[in-house]
């Protein structure tokens, strides 16, 4: 079991709140990592395997992500220990929201992460009787519907395109393999196809589909809509391969867009891509990052590549109490501009420092957070 005090370092966390509810069996945690640049903002996930340590790691990623795109919120994350498919999901979610009513929305605003949907965000608002308690609600309630719009996946493709061009690897005609075909992966595939890339592999928890000559992305999207994850075994095109093998197929760009910690040292030795763009949070271990760097494979960090969601969240935060819905074209335009520019800055800084994009990007984010902490008197004199 994680000792919460052992998680504290020079950056945070500032607050860890563990909550429970006997009748529903709800157990959960909120980690507010660093609020020097603004109040805590980050998604809420639901999984049977949520832990304090996991949520703290993700909250730290949010600290760097907000600072990296230069938006004025702080790192935070929440997690609920439950199966998202549980028939008691709504009762558990409502109990979790009530238990954090002291912190939400004054110190933290809930959002969407693994296991939660736009309707779940609406339930949180309903339970606490405040539109300001959650973002990511359906558009018919005035929210920014992240999953429906596909903002995170769109941003992954935009940032990857900019990073690839910087490396002298034009995305048009490049072969892209994507792990995960959920909210992030399917939207990324759609945008990659629009940008002229050839998607050669996609995967779900039930398996992966591979075709070296390229998959028909519109057909895959339609099959996913009709069959869910089972589309892998129902689709006539491509060969079905075991889940996980999509990481090591022959490709130019690899996008891990499913789970964290999927690229370890062993996998890093077998990856054939020239560029890895982290669509998921924390998919590549530090040891794997070093191995990939030694092999000349660039890695675009998660807090750069998948920051489209936080840009959209910033629009949603501004609109929580407004009677007007944020305009989608403005959201997509801002995601493209911010993520493309940031990807190039990080790649250039990595080259200038002779280090990895992860370390270069984190150094830039740390500098912004440290400056804010200094201005607010949060650092030792």
Annotated active-site residue 148? The verdict is no
Q: Which residues contact 227 (CB under 8 A, 6 or more apart)?
A: 234
Which run of H or E residues covers position 124?
helix 118-128
Classify burial at 377, counting beta carbons within 10 Å of its beta carbon; exposed 0-12, middle 13-18, buried 19 or more. Answer: exposed
Torsion on CA atoms 244, 245, 249, 254, rounded to nearest 10: 0
Closest CA to 26 of 97, 76, 77, 125: 97
CA distances from 277 to 115, 179, 302 (A): 23, 11, 7
- The H-or-E segment that residue 169 falls in is none
Give CA–CA dist 35/13, Å, rounded: 9
Contact residues for 190 (Cβ-Cβ < 8 A; gap 6+): 150, 153, 154, 217, 221
Distance from C-alpha of 274 to C-alpha of 200, rounded to nearest angstrom: 15
Set 41, 77, 89, 274: catalytic member: 77
Q: How many CB atoms neighbour CB 43 within 10 A? A: 25
Q: 3-state class of 152 per DSSP?
A: helix
Distance from CA of residue 121 to its chain's centroid? 17
Report the catalytic residues.
Answer: 77
């Amino acid at each position: 079991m994680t000792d919460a005090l052992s998680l504290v370092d020079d950056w945070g966390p500032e607050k860890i709140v563990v909550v429970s509810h006997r009748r529903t069996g709800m157990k959960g945690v909120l980690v507010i990592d660093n609020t020097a640049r603004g109040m805590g903002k980050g998604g809420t996930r639901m999984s049977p395997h949520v832990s304090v340590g996991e949520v703290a790691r993700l909250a730290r990623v949010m600290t760097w992500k907000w600072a990296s795109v230069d938006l004025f919120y702080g790192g935070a994350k929440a997690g609920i220990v439950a199966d998202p498919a549980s028939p008691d999901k709504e009762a558990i979610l409502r109990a979790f929201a009530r238990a954090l009513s002291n912190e939400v929305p004054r110190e933290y605003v809930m959002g969407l992460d693994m296991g939660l949907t736009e309707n779940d965000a609406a339930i949180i608002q309903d339970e606490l009787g405040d539109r300001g308690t959650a973002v990511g609600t359906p558009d018919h309630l005035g929210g920014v519907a992240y999953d429906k719009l596909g903002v995170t996946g769109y941003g992954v493709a935009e940032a990857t395109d900019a990073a690839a061009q910087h490396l002298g690897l034009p995305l048009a005609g490049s072969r892209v393999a994507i792990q995960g075909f959920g909210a992030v992966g399917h939207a990324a595939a759609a945008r990659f196809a629009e940008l002229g890339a050839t998607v050669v592999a996609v995967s779900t928890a039930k398996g992966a589909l591979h075709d070296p000559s390229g998959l028909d992305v519109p057909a895959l999207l339609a099959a996913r809509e009709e069959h869910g994850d089972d589309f892998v075994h129902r689709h006539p095109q491509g060969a079905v391969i075991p889940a996980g093998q999509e990481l090591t197929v022959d490709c130019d760009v690899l996008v891990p867009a499913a789970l964290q910690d999927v690229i370890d040292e062993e996998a890093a030795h077998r990856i054939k891509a020239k560029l890895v763009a982290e669509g998921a949070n924390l998919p590549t271990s530090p040891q794997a990052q070093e191995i990939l760097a030694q092999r000349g494979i660039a890695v675009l960090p998660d807090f750069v590549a998948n920051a489209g969601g936080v840009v959209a969240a910033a629009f949603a935060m501004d609109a929580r109490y407004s009677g007007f819905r944020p305009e989608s074209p403005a959201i997509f335009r801002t995601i493209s501009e911010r993520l493309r520019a940031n990807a190039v800055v990080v790649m250039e800084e990595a080259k200038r420092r002779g280090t990895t994009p992860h370390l270069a990007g984190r150094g830039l984010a740390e500098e912004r957070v440290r400056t804010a902490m200094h201005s607010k008197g949060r650092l030792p004199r």
